[in-house]
Structure 1
Amino acid sequence: MLHLKPDGGVDLEHRATFFLRGSQQRFLATTHDRLLSIVHPGSQSVQLIQLPEKIRAVCPHPTLECFAWIDATTGSLRIHDFGETGTQITKHLPGSESWPLQGWEDCHFDSTGDYLWLVANRDSEHCEIQLVESRSGDIVGKTIIDDPFSGSYCSFHVGNYAGMIALWLGAGQDGQQIYWLQQTESGISCTLVQHLANTTPPVFSPSGRSFQVFLTERLEIVRFDFDSMVKFAEATLDDDDDMFSESFAWLDDRWALAGTNEGRVYAVDTEGMKIEQEVAIAGHEPRLVGDYFPELAKETGVATDISHFGQLGDLIVFVYRRDKESGLENWKDSLLWFRARWPV
């Protein structure tokens, strides 16, 4: 077993449903409630902001001290600085008023911060994608794509080079699919990735030459070569009581960490997708389920209290629930992180 001591950590005053990289010096951690934390890994400090509405999506600017967010009530896109002020950019996407989820679904700054990607459900069968100038809000590209799952959840994800991002459409057991998006001289291009039906969003290696996804039907993690789109290798967890989850992070271009539903973490050699060793996070080592969750004391399996982890550049961030309660009320998470490297 490999033992990993985190490089730092902070306590949050809310649940960390998702976190996003703003720059080398900070990242955002937030939930779908109104609370958002700006985390500074260098000083291990947190700035808490309470927004006026619940959050549907959020994206930090890569260089400026501000972030874009979409309020969950109206779907409005807003730009908010790291102080207490915010500006509404656009109220909602013009579309079918019969569709119940109005407004934008997700937003994503490009690597320069000069442009902002937006996506919304037009109706039950179509999504609209726009690329707008960050400062003016002027549209520089727009396209409409088919939604085969009728009202999918839409989310943007970092691509493998400047200017390219991934758009993921997900509808639970109905299916998932991925598009590659890129700005062009005439607007934007949008390419459906036929090879990636029914997967989680892609996580690219540091070089961008390959990426990993979790196949939701086959319950295995798979590495693809980006240029050829050839499946490089796959791995399945040989455990009847546990399986791989969506948590995945690259240590370098070959080695990675993969998480499971029971909060366990494994080091994976992605050259052959071989599971090398289990990784124990200091203070969160694998134990009997009841040691972490007393209400499950009769369970016989092994688990940790790590709920999920993800990659933010060269940082790998782990999340665990600090308040030790079992209900949703007053949920408070803590974060741990370390710099991606191999050996750990």
Structure 2
Amino acid sequence: MSDFEISSLSGTGPATIRVKPKAANESESNKEQVIKVIVQGVEREVTLVQKAAPKIVETWGTYFSITPETTSHTFDGTKRGETLEIGVYSYQQKFIDNNPQDEYRAVDWKVESSSDWLEVTQEIGEANAAGKLTIKTKSTNQEHNPSNYDPLERTAIVKIISQQEPNTEIVLNITQSPGTRTTKYGFEPTPNIPFPNLGQNTSTAQISNVKGYQYYLINGIQVAKFIKQFKITDISKTIEGQFSGGIGSEPIPFKVWLTDYPSNIATQWVSELNCVGHLQTIMSGFGGIQVTYNGYINDNGNQSVQLNIRLGY
């Protein structure tokens, strides 16, 4: 069957023969046909070629990016639960003969983190919509120099990795700034004077090995403590007060005083307190209040400190 239309199959004298394809060639190969023209016994052949339809080239372009485009972020070292949200574009777009089409498909991506102080979660987007990466701090930053307890920043790397060849990586450098160091002063152990036995109105307790301390805290958490000399400037005072008597009952008075303490503790630096505590009251049962003596810790001058003594059990 001929694939071409021929305008004339015979004639006399000079003539023009017009040939055209009957239809477009939608096959993947060329179509050929040979026509013969015979004039006064002389034969000539003409080969007609209809080229194959151009091959449609379909490709997919890969896109992988984040918003905002920054690859570093610093969290506040004094806070926990801070979050950073990053939009992740990971998709492919269809092209026909290098012409973009309005057709997209999402490309999976994964996250790798080197940190145990970050919580990382991901949401994959649909089509060409952005997914979401959420980075959250689990704790405040307690990192410090072990030689001087100065707070230090800490760093971590979070990688966003495309699951489409060639598996492009976006590396995020995450920092948490140094925490805040504070200093406190106190005594250990906390002395306790029990209530008198039933039928008695006075009790005593040996208070031993009480030492003064300087504490370093980072973001409120203790990281170090050091023994320091101290004074108790009002150790000779008698403290009077009242326990609550309960609903419908009168308050119950008490007195507290200390004896057998170092004679120079009110005016000279000492390293340890050993003394006897006395409690006068008719209260019994469980306690729940403290009395306070005032003094100083020897740390680059006089640092105010309080010695608290528990009453009861």
Larger Rg: 2
> Would you call these one fold, judging by a TM-score over 0.5?
no
- TM-score when normalising by structure 2: 0.16
